[in-house]
């Protein structure tokens, strides 16, 4: 068998491309946050993770420019060797303070943060337990770890307890969950998770990629539930509310020190460029100075999920500015995406394996900088498309 046979036989995406409904790898001509341009086509962007609208903020842009002018475009080395700047250490200290942890460690991407942290901690004879809706980076971290992976049904605490009760009492255990689930927009029941972990001697890690800047006055899921300082590990990314690129893990100083010396994705990757570190720092400062942005994005999330439900769309159990519109069938999802796109609304089409088979959806997400006029236009387009395609019954 030729190794490339699988490539010649991969035709699903080509069929969707030929039909004119392909929703991926679309090149943006420019971006101004809530509005983007593709060629000469202008669209309202409701597919971005730029929750606080800081990616184009003048202070964030200027911080990136000044860091590039001072340090250059790249560190040209890993954090382990020559790639650590004082700027990285300042960012880590500020992030640790922000989420209420002793220490933090910055990675080059959020994906590498999860992969490196989990694989460093979960060794042979250990167990890692995940929610079935956890992000792919968590799953990949578990695959690279030497220990065994177990999964529990989404947000099902009775099932989580059965899984934990069935593990050897003497084994090391790590439970990893998303704080806000990236496709469903719902929140992990963290108080129950923390309680179960304490009962069964497990450590816990919360992926707050979509929670930082959104929940708990921006500080994440632990703060949202009044559990600051009671979560073992908090992970976050810079590519969403922090308007940059990179990721971090925060927790007890000794644990972070261990991860720093054992996470292969940190040791063998170049550090984030100075511009990215400076941009994340500037975004963090603005987030703390302007809490009204956090209040605004949550108000928008509540408004949009309420109005989309009123129109007759299925938005699941979302509780955040991530509002999924569940279509079900893959091709119907692509067709709906294209109708919205042609009408000037940019969403994200999500199919299996990112969501369970038969649960394809349009992932919409909102920014603090969306105007009321933009939101009402989005709802108008959804209503028109929904009626035209028979989605509203």
Residue 246 has what pLDDT? Answer: 97
Write out the residue range of the structural domain in which residue 256 sits. Answer: 58-289
Q: How many CA atoms lie within 13 A of 175 on its CB side?
A: 30
Q: What 3-state DSSP class applies to 296?
A: helix
Could you give phi then psi for residue 44, rounded to 5 degrees? -80, 125
Answer with the one of 289, 310, 340 that is the final residue of a domain: 289
The arithmetic mean of pLDDT across residues 202-212, rounded, is: 98
The DSSP output letter for 320 is: S
CB 34 within 8 A of CB 53: yes
Say if residues 378 and 367 touch (Cβ distance below 8 Å): no
Is the pLDDT confidence value at 357 over 90?
Answer: no
Residue 236 has pLDDT above 90, yes or no: yes
Give the pLDDT confidence score for residue 354 in this predicted structure.
Answer: 87
**Same structural domain for residues 318 and 364?**
yes
Contact 73, 276 (CB under 8 A): no
The answer to whether residue 393 is domain-embedded is no
125 and 267 share one domain:
yes
* CA 95 – CA 48 distance, rounded (Å): 23
**Could you read off the pLDDT of 72-92 as tens digits, one per residue?**
999 999 999 999 999 999 999
CA distances from 354 to 17, 33, 105, 188, 350 (A): 20, 25, 28, 18, 7
**25 and 85 co-located in one domain:** no
In the numeric block, which tokens belong to residue 30?
């420019």
Structure-token match 């999330």, residue found: 301
Rounded to 5 degrees, what are φ and ψ at 314?
-90, 110
Q: Tokens 């603090």 sit at which residue?
A: 368
Same domain, 233 and 370: no
> Is 366 inside a domain boundary?
yes
CB neighbour list of residue 331: distance below 8 Å, 6 or more residues apart:
16, 21
* 252 is a domain residue: yes
**105 in any annotated domain:** yes
Q: Are residues 275 and 299 in the same domain?
A: no
Of 242, 263, 289, which residue constitutes the final position of a domain?
289
- Tell me the average pLDDT across 225-249: 97
Q: What is the pLDDT of residue 31?
A: 80
- Provide the domain count of the chain: 2
Q: What is the pLDDT of residues 146-197, one digit of tens each?
A: 999 999 999 999 999 999 999 999 999 999 999 999 999 999 999 999 999 9
pTM of the model: 0.95
Give CA–CA dist 220/207, Å, rounded: 9
The verdict on residue 382 lying in a domain is: yes
Which CATH number covers residue 232?
Answer: 3.40.640.10
pLDDT score of 301 more than 90: yes
Which domain-ending residue is among 289, 317, 346?
289
On whether both 68 and 213 belong to a single domain, the answer is: yes
Residue 32 reports pLDDT greater than 80: no
pLDDT band at 36 (very low <50, low <70, confident <90, very high): very high
Q: Is the same domain home to 237 and 118?
A: yes
> Across-strand partners of 236?
248
Residue at 122 is within a domain: yes
Please provide the average confidence, as pLDDT, over all residues in the chain. 96
Confidence of residue 390 (pLDDT cuts 50, 70, 90): very high
Average pLDDT over every residue of 256-282: 97
- 8 Å CB contact between 212 and 240: yes
Is residue 53 in some structural domain? no
Instruction: Kindly state whether residues 341 and 356 are assigned to the same domain.
Output: yes
Q: What's the start-to-end Cα distance of the chain, in Å?
A: 49
Domain of residue 308, CATH code: 3.90.1150.10
Tell me: do 186 and 126 sit in the same domain.
yes
Same domain, 139 and 260: yes
Confidence at residue 345, expressed as pLDDT on a 0 to 100 scale: 98
Q: Are the C-beta atoms of 206 and 179 separated by less than 8 Å?
A: yes
Question: Do residues 1 and 313 touch, judged by C-beta distance below 8 A?
Answer: no
Percent of the chain with pLDDT over 90: 96
**Does 216 lie in the same domain as 278?**
yes
Is the model's pLDDT at 393 over the cut of 70?
no
**Alpha-carbon Rg for the chain in angstroms:** 21
Residue 52, domain member (yes or no): no
Shared domain for 218 and 308, answered yes or no, is no
Q: For residue 353, is the peptide bond before it cis, meaning its omega torsion is within 30 degrees of 0? A: yes
Band (pLDDT 50/70/90 cuts) for residue 348 is very high
Rounded average pLDDT over 227-250: 97
**DSSP designation for 217:** G
């Amino acid at each position: 068998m030729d190794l490339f046979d699988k490539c010649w036989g991969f035709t699903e995406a080509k069929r969707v491309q030929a039909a004119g409904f392909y929703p991926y790898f679309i090149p943006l001509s420019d971006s101004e946050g809530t509005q983007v341009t593709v060629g000469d086509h202008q669209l309202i962007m409701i597919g971005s993770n730029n929750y606080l609208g800081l990616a184009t903020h003048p202070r964030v842009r200027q911080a990136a420019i000044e860091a590039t002018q001072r340090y250059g475009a790249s560190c040209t080395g890993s954090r382990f060797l020559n790639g650590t700047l004082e700027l990285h250490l300042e960012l880590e200290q500020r992030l640790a303070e922000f989420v209420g942890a002793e220490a933090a460690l910055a990675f080059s991407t959020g994906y590498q943060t999860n992969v490196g942290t989990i694989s460093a901690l979960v060794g042979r004879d250990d167990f890692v337990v995940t929610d079935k809706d956890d992000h792919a980076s968590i799953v990949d971290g578990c695959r690279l770890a030497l220990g065994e992976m177990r999964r529990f049904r989404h947000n099902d605490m009775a099932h989580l307890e059965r899984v934990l009760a069935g593990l050897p009492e003497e084994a090391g255990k790590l439970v990893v969950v998303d704080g806000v689930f990236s496709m469903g927009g719902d929140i992990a029941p963290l108080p129950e998770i923390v309680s179960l972990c304490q009962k069964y001697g497990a450590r816990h890690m919360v992926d707050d990629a979509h929670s930082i800047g959104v929940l708990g006055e921006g500080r994440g899921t632990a703060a949202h539930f009044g559990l600051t300082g009671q979560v073992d590990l908090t992970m976050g990314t810079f590519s969403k509310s922090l308007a940059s690129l990179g990721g971090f893990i925060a927790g007890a100083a000794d644990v972070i020190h261990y991860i720093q010396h054992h996470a292969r994705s940190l040791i063998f990757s170049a550090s984030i460029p100075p511009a990215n570190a400076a941009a994340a720092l500037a975004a963090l400062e603005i987030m703390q100075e302007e809490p009204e942005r956090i209040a605004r994005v949550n108000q928008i999330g509540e408004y949009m999920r309420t109005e989309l439900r009123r129109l007759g769309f299925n938005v699941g159990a979302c509780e955040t500015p991530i509002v999924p519109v569940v279509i079900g069938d893959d091709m119907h999802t692509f067709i709906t995406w294209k109708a919205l796109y042609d009408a000037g609304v940019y969403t994200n089409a999500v199919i299996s394996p990112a969501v369970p088979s038969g649960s394809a959806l349009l992932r919409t997400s909102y920014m603090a900088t969306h105007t009321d006029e933009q939101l009402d236009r989005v709802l108008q387009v959804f209503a028109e498309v929904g009626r035209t395609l028979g989605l509203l019954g």
